[in-house]
Structure 1
Amino acid sequence: MAPAFPASAIPVALATGFTPSTSAVGDSVYLTALVGLVPLVAFFVLMGAFKVKTHWCALISLAISMVIALFFGMPVGLAAMSATQGAVFGLMPIVYIIIAAVWLYNLTESSGRSADLKAIFNVIGKGDQRAQALIIAFSFCGLMEGLAGFGAPVAITCALLVGLGLPKIKAAVTTVVGNAINVGFGAMAIPVTTAGQLGGEDAVEVATRMGHLTWIFAAFIPLVLLQIIDGMRGIRQLWPLALAIGLATGAGHFLVSSVSYELTAVAASLLGLAAGYVFLLVWNPTTPEEFRTFVAEEDRPDGARVGLALLPYVLVVVIIAITKLWKVGVDLPAVLKSKDLPIHWPGVHGQLLSADGRPSPSGTYTLQILSNPGTWIFVTGIIVAIVYGTVSSGGRYRTSVGAMFAVLPRTIHNLRLAILTIATVMALAYVMNFSGQTTAIGAALASTGAFFAFLAPILGWVGTGVAGSATSAGAFFAKLQATAAQGAGLDARILLAGNTIGGGLGKIISPQNLAVASTAIDEPGSDAEILKRVAPYSIGLLLLLCTLVFIGSQGWLGAYMPIR
């Protein structure tokens, strides 16, 4: 790994050393937690009740969190530099990946080849828009989540569903809910690895317990997606397809998580995709007229056009899979990761202290270039831009390489408010975490003893809701989960599993995720409307998870949730 960039290289007025406290208010963890919740409450009330634009919600909540941080005793300089570290993390890797993913989709749109893509999905889905949307939102999105994560799957899938003809808000809601159960295993299961390392448990053991829970959700979430798309009629007419896809995906979660947990989401989604394709070869859905899609005979693509339409998505899966999995002759993931540049963040590193008085490792920011999925999505985009700019398919899709590359700056311009929102939300997350606001919320929940098993997934849900990342939720709460498990006589592995899955469900209502979705459907400012529609699903799935984790912690699920 490259040497860390020294904080002293940048002249910044260093803050006095600060150790976050979970009892900063009245020596009470409960009062501290209540005060720590204020920025989150403000954010969601402003967005949901007062319809304030998301970037203003984020900016106002950031200001509130910084005032609270000062009230908690955090020095001004440390609070300010904590916010900058969060903002930079929001830009790199998160915004970097989003820009690459949206550009990749926009190449399909700008070249006109989205028409061929619709024709392909029309054939697979037997002319039923709902079946096509289900396969894309659950299986294809899950595949992308398993490989890349960090916003790319939601951005690409939302845009695909809109291109398919689904109403924009409905496309966003379907994508966000369909994506959630794979988030814990996203980006080659980084959230699981993080939770295991920080919680002091074997990641394989944590993943196994996750898979023994997530299969249940994977089995019925396709039915939920049908309800979102077409209500009870959708379920009544397409439940066999949803069941086939859900059970195949669930089997993948249950089996692969204990064998090669990094591949759980990828393998399970491929199983679901294959099950849906094969099932539709022998079964014909009943399709209402308004959901019937047609492709005129003259518009049906030949083999070459099919290949070109699918090129961006097949190529991005192949390239990212190689960068994440290739170990023949050379461990490519390790080589790429070795080029990461750790930076001791000025004003934070050495000033933010752990409980033992040592500098917190959170003060180091890692700049990822070659190990960042966004880089390889950009590489895919460059290849696709060149191919689309030079191959016109008999003059049907005339464009130029220059025109394809010109799509990139337009994409960045259209994303400008989303970029501001995501950077600000991450700044908010870092201030809340480094000042002790987030930890106090977790400590208050952890004080409930054995009942904490029911509450454990809520920590992951809150952590991802704030930071937009299940990996960050693990970083926030894994150690707390393990400590609370020891004190309450619970199995830390099942609590870490609940925390990580809960993080995926929290992503449904994460402001960052909502900003990505609203931008991808080209409806800036629709975050509040999306939140209103997805919140009941997020909360309902969370309560089910809490119940299952509590039952599992008592050993009542036998082989389906082994804890011994």
Structure 2
Amino acid sequence: MFHQPLEPAGNLLLSSLVAITPLIVLLVLLAGLRWKAHWASLTTLVVGFALAWLVWSMPPVQAMSAGLDGMAQAVLSILWLTFNAIWIHNLTVTTGHFEVLRKTFARLSDDLRIATIIIAFAFGALLEALAGGGAPVAICAVMLISLGLNPLKAVAAALVADTAPVAFGGMGNPITILARTVQLPGGGTISPEAFAAMTGRQTSILSLLVPFVLLLIVDGRRGIRGAWPAALTGGVSFGAAQYLLSNHFAYQLTDIFAALVATLAIVVLSRVWRPKHPVSFREGPGDTSAADLAITTGERWRSFAPYLIVVALFSIAQIPAAKEFLDGLTVTFAWPGLDVVNAQGAPVVTDYVLNYGSATGTLLFISGLLTMAVLRVHPVRAVAAYRGVLRQFGWAIFTILCVFALSFLMNYSGMIVTLGTALAATGGLFAFLAPVVGWFGVFVTGTDAGANAMFGQLQATAAAQIDTSPILLGAANTAGGVMGKMISPQNLAVGAAAIGMVGKEGEILRRVIGWSLGFLLLTCVLVYLQSTPVLGWMVVGG
């Protein structure tokens, strides 16, 4: 039996400084010394293991078991999901249907500013819902450049747009990971639906503003004056759908429906309103070449088929009978080699939930098989596309495994509890700082799911210390993390590579960091007010 010590270094301040050491090491290696992410994450994991063993007195066998538990969680929750999501996208690329989709989007509006909102904000949200991992930035930036937008503006627009949907990206994976990570001091847990509802009450407000920022990036203040109705329509429709889905339906489908609703709303608006002085495409909306004109209605529908299949399959999975069947395939077992109690003497839950039937990745894999049939992809070609996904990730797989191993090691050893207790010493001010923790987590890990795995328990620990809602602070970690996405080194690297400007990541960072900090400040104020009677009525009950 391993008892988590709260102050292994003799006092809380010193112990918390030691506990944060692995995170500082990771940040310095990544941002300061510019190490490769896989070597930086491995080195940090070794540091974390040494501290867990030598300072927190965690037996080496249990420390290794904790790390392996984190890796196993990453395989099911991150890798299996992301591989299948990107595989579906690659199937559309190999069959040429993605190009059809690009041209279809370009024909929805003859104004570059409005097209940017549709592509970067709405379609980008759809890509984030299905894949994430930098795919929305790379794909949307290339599409915008093909319409005539300056490459740096295109990648900046794609990065800023990839904020509001991140909390529910990967079919709600950050929320799912958060619920699995958080344990209450008494040993209880919080449902993912509660975290999703609270997060929706924060990010839906952010969603209202993002389209206006896109107008500023593309065309400055003239863009706001000339196209504000489209930004307002897109922001309100997306935010409303995001709120309704996250609070009253399946949170896994939040971004998908929000993206579809926003696109439909802007298209309907374009039928009754047009800017007085439109900003034209370089070559007109959608290439009007003979090849483009030859695209049939059937081909256009097939280009949307993969996304419609995903929506239909996940909707069916929420039907009570189907949900009961899929949940019945779940296997739960205590992770071997872990026997942990916290500083208060309560057992720490170490169960591994192998939901191979209802897992998001499994449903996406089935969607991929159906996509093969609809797009008439030969199995050999489909297997080649999947191998391409594995090659595309390469060392990123190793990085993800190490980051999750570190987060679970820090949780089970008690480092996160120590950090959370120390931060709680700031009292009510911590509610203001909670989103900053999530923002930092995404900057370091590159994903909101990774930030929740790393800091979700810290937020719950701090909430118990300052007697506030763990649902509020857990959601704040998720909402704060979305602003870190646009400045994370991984996302910047993807954006730079997509526009052919590798090495210009610093210039891209300068274009978006102000928006990242501005949105973060807004979220901090919102969460703080939600922790007070002013907006306390917005907080979801336990």
Identify the TM-score tier after normalising by the shorter chain: 0.7 to 0.9
8 Å contact 2:109–2:285 — kept in the other structure? no
TM-score, normalised on structure 1? 0.79
Relative to 1, partners in 2 of residues 1:513 and 1:365: Cα closer, same or farther, differing over 3 Å? farther
| Corresponding position of 2:307 | 313
Unpaired runs of 5+ residues, structure 2, are: none
- Corresponding residue for residue 340 of structure 1: 330
Q: What corresponds to 1:483 in structure 2?
A: 464
Residue 273 to residue 120, structure 1, CA distance change in 2 (3 Å): same
**Counterpart mapping for 1:141-540 below 5 A:** 141-143=124-126, 152-154=131-133, 156-166=135-145, 174-175=157-158, 177-185=160-168, 187=171, 190=176, 198=184, 210-228=199-217, 235=224, 237-254=226-243, 258-260=247-249, 262=251, 265-285=255-275, 286-290=278-282, 292-298=284-290, 299-300=292-293, 301-323=295-317, 325-327=318-320, 330=321, 332-347=322-337, 349-350=338-339, 352-357=340-345, 359-361=347-349, 363-389=350-376, 400-462=378-440, 468=447, 469=449, 472=453, 475-477=456-458, 479-486=460-467, 490=468, 494-508=472-486, 536-540=514-518
Paired residue for 1:57? 40
Q: How far is the alpha carbon of 1:311 from its aligned partner?
A: 1.6
Is residue 410–residue 416 contact of structure 2 (8 Å, CA) maintained in 1?
yes
- 1:192-222 CA distance string (max 9 Å, x none): 8669984877987766654443332111012
CA separation of 1:476 and 1:164: change in aligned 2, threshold 3 A: same
The residue identity in structure 2 corresponding to 1:221 is V
Cα distance change on mapping 1:19 and 1:290 into 2, 3 Å: farther
Q: Match of 1:222, as an amino acid?
A: P
**Counterparts of 2:152 and 2:10 in 1: how far apart (Å)?**
44
Distance in structure 1 (CA, Å) of the matches to 2:354 and 2:494: 22
2: CA distance between counterparts of 1:25 and 1:95? 36
Q: Structure 1 CA distance, aligned partners of 2:396 and 2:503? A: 9
Amino acid across the alignment from 1:276 = I
Report the secondary structure of 1:365's partner residue. Answer: strand
Measure, in 2, the Cα distance between the counterparts of 1:521 and 1:22: 48
Give identity over the alignment, percent.
32
Distance 1:289 1:119, change over 3 A: closer
**How far did 1:559 drift?**
7.0
Q: Mark the CA change 1:232 to 1:542 in structure 2 (over 3 Å): closer, same or farther.
A: same
Question: Residue 207 of structure 2 aligns to which amino acid in structure 1?
Answer: A
Answering whether residue 525 of structure 2 is matched by residue 542 of structure 1, we say no
Q: Which amino acid aligns with 1:71?
A: L
Q: Which residue, 82, 92, 98 being the options, matches 2:66?
A: 82
Note if 1:124 corresponds to 2:113.
no
How far off is 1:304 after superposition? 0.9
Write the distance in 2 (CA, Å) between the matches of 1:276 and 1:430.
43
- Encode CA deviations 1:382-425: one digit per residue, 9 max, x unaligned: 232344346xxxxxxxxx44223322112212221221221122
- For 1:275, give the aligned amino acid: A
Structure 2 vs 1, CA of residues 21 and 52 (structure 1 numbering), >3 Å: closer, same or farther? same
Distance in 2 (CA, whole Å) between partners of 1:101 and 1:223 is 29
Which is further off, 42-51 or 422-431?
A: 42-51
Name the CA shift for 1:63/1:308 in 2 (closer, same or farther; >3 Å). Answer: same
Please name the residue that 1:45 is paired with. 28
- Distance in 1, matches of 2:511 and 2:355, equals 35
State the alpha-carbon separation in 1 of the partners of residues 177 and 96 from structure 2: 37
Contact 1:552 1:561 in 2 (8 A): yes
Deviation at 1:228, TM superposition (A): 4.9
Q: Report how far residue 303 of structure 1 moved.
A: 0.7
Distance in 1 (CA, whole Å) between partners of 2:222 and 2:8 is 53
2:215 and 2:223 in contact (8 A); partners too: yes
Alignment of 1:92-111 (within 5 A): 92-111=76-95
Indicate how the Cα distance of structure 1 residues 389 and 184 shifts in structure 2: closer, same or farther if over 3 A, else same: closer
Distance 2:392 2:192 in 1: 40
- Please tell me the residue identity of whatever aligns with 1:74: M
Q: Matches of 1:371 and 1:523 in 2, distance apart?
A: 40
Q: Which runs of 5+ in 1 are unaligned?
A: 1-16, 391-399
1:110 and 1:267, CA in 2 relative to 1: closer, same or farther beyond 3 A?
Answer: closer
Letter in 2 for 1:287: V
Q: Please give the alpha-carbon distance, in whole angstroms, between the structure 2 residues aligned to 1:212 and 1:76.
A: 42
Question: Distance in 1 between the 2:40 and 2:457 partners?
Answer: 23
**Matched residue of 1:124: which SS?**
coil
For the 8 Å contact 1:388–1:404, the answer to whether it is kept is no
RMSD, aligned CA: 3.8
The one-letter code matched in structure 2 to 1:472 is A
| Cα pair distance change 1:258/1:418, threshold 3 Å | closer
Contact 1:386 1:401 in 2 (8 A): no
Tell me how far apart the structure 1 counterparts of residues 400 and 504 of structure 2 sit (CA, whole Å). 15
Cα deviation 1:106-149 (Å, max 9, x = unaligned): 11222222221111111123363x53343243334445656x6x
Question: Relative to structure 2, which stretch is displaced further, 70-79 or 510-519?
Answer: 510-519
Cα 1:527–1:344 shift into 2, 3 Å: farther
Worse-matched range after superposition: 48-57 or 490-499: 490-499
